[in-house]
């Protein structure tokens, strides 16, 4: 909550910088707004999530390498992708609690001139907003009335789970952190029956039909609940819900037309930023109706 300048290493992962530039753009803007300095480390590589299925050891070393790079600069790590968050948090938890594993990993990192000592903390950007900026401060800064806009919250499974590695910062069975963040903007996190359903992203390359069915079930549930948009903080969940939405509508012969908005975009609107500054041009399912109603079209500059 302090206004003191906070500095973090920004971990983008694979999907954000290539397939979710609206998320990256809006997150950088929100960070700036709240005085959070994000440092880019170009040497960061994949977190190891996809490799875990093939060889857990390689995955752990990959995550450790990123942690070591952040540690070298004396910075904690901020993540945007929920899957990266899970992988980096879990690896960090494992390495901090198992000195044998840490030694084994460091043997490999040493060849790269790196060593991980176990001093880094990993935070999802949304968690950072909750814990470091705080709900009260967010509420104070809201300028645009989002008119109680009903939205479906989807943080992604790895935002809170496995809860043990996340040190129970939120209750995985009855979470509230993400809803509190959404409600602080003036929008309303609207409950829906498939709230806990996973996006299926991890099995997209294995069984596309199963993954699509999972997406369809969730989108139908959000629509049924009367929400006008889905709010995301994971770029791969977005690949599933937004970037594949047209294909899935065709495949399942079901219409959703569900705008998928990143939390950082939603918060940005509430703070009075222009949709263009928040990368709304990149959103595929246009939330035009919502933008019009709250009176922030691309033409107008509100800041």
Partner 1 sequence: MNENQDAEAVEEVTKAQEPKVIKFDELDPNFKYEIQAEPSGEFITRCYACGTCTASCPVRSIEETFNPRRIIHMALLGMKKEVLSSEFVWLCSTCYACFERCPQDVRITEMMNALKNLAVKNGYIHPAFTAQIDLIQGHGRLYEADSFVNKKRAKIRLPELTESPDPIKAIFKATGLYEYSTEAKESKELPQSGNTEGGSNE
Distance in Å, CB of 103 to partner 1, minimum: 14
Toward partner 1, which CB reaches closer, 65 or 184? 65
Toward partner 1, which CB reaches closer, 61 or 77? 61
Could you tell me the two tokens for 127? 């968690």
Toward partner 1, which CB reaches closer, 141 or 194? 194
Cα separation, 297 vs 292, whole angstroms? 6
Could you tell me the two tokens for 293? 């109603």
Distance in Å, CB of 155 to partner 1, minimum: 12
Distance in Å, CB of 102 to partner 1, minimum: 14
Distance in Å, CB of 213 to partner 1, minimum: 5
Distance in Å, CB of 3 to partner 1, minimum: 26
Do 182 and 231 touch, CB atoms closer than 8 A? yes
Longest Cα separation, the chain: 58
Number of other CB atoms surrounding residue 28 within 10 Å: 18
Tokens 């302090």 belong to 2
Q: What is the DSSP letter of 239?
A: I
Toward partner 1, which CB reaches closer, 211 or 269? 211
Phi, psi of 235 (to 5 degrees): -70, -25
How far from the centroid of its chain's Cα atoms is residue 103's Cα? 31
Toward partner 1, which CB reaches closer, 38 or 146? 38
Toward partner 1, which CB reaches closer, 5 or 42? 42
Do 240 and 253 touch, CB atoms closer than 8 A? no
Toward partner 1, which CB reaches closer, 31 or 61? 61
* Angle at alpha carbon of residue 119, lines to 97 and 83, rounded to 5°: 75
Binding site for partner 1 (CB under 8 A): 13-15, 17-19, 21, 24-25, 28, 40, 42-46, 50-58, 61-62, 65, 86, 108, 111-112, 157-158, 161-163, 172-173, 196-203, 205-207, 210-211, 213-214, 217, 279
* Angle at alpha carbon of residue 81, lines to 103 and 280, rounded to 5°: 160
Distance in Å, CB of 25 to partner 1, minimum: 6
Residue 109 CB contacts under 8 Å (≥ 6 apart), including other chains: 61, 64, 65, 68, 115, 116
Edge to edge, the sheet with strand 229-232 lists 188-189, 150-154, 229-232, 260-262
Distance in Å, CB of 255 to partner 1, minimum: 20
For 25, 73, 85, 149, 151, the CA distances from 82, given in Å and listed in that order, are 17, 23, 5, 24, 19
Distance in Å, CB of 49 to partner 1, minimum: 8
Do 86 and 49 touch, CB atoms closer than 8 A? yes
Toward partner 1, which CB reaches closer, 201 or 259? 201
């Amino acid at each position: 909550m302090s206004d003191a300048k906070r500095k973090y290493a920004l971990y983008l992962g694979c999907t954000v910088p290539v397939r979710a530039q609206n998320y990256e753009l809006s997150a950088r803007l929100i960070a700036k707004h709240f005085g959070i300095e994000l440092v880019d480390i170009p040497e960061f590589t994949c977190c190891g999530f996809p490799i875990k299925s093939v060889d857990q050891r390689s995955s752990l070393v990959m995550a450790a390498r990123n942690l070591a790079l952040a540690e070298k600069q004396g910075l904690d790590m901020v993540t945007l992708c929920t899957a990266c968050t899970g992988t980096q948090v879990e690896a960090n938890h494992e390495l901090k609690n198992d000195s044998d594993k840490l030694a084994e990993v460091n043997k490999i990192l040493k060849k790269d001139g790196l060593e991980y000592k176990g001093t880094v903390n990993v935070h999802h950007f949304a968690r950072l907003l909750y814990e470091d900026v705080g709900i009260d401060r967010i509420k104070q800064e809201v300028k645009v009335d989002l008119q109680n806009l009903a939205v479906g919250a989807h943080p992604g499974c790895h935002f809170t789970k496995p809860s043990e590695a996340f040190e129970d910062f939120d209750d995985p069975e009855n979470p509230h952190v993400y809803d509190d963040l959404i409600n602080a903007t003036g929008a309303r996190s609207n409950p829906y029956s498939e709230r806990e359903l996973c996006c299926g992203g991890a099995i997209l390359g294995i069984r596309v039909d199963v993954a699509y069915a999972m997406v369809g079930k969730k989108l139908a549930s959000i629509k049924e609940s009367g929400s006008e948009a889905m709010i995301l903080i994971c770029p791969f969940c977005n690949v599933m819900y937004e970037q594949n939405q047209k294909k899935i509508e065709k495949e399942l012969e079901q219409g959703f037309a569900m705008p998928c908005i990143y939390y950082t975009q939603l918060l940005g609107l509430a703070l009075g930023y222009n949709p263009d500054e928040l990368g709304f041009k990149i959103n595929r399912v246009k939330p035009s109706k919502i933008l019009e109603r709250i009176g922030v079209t691309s033409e107008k500059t509100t800041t």
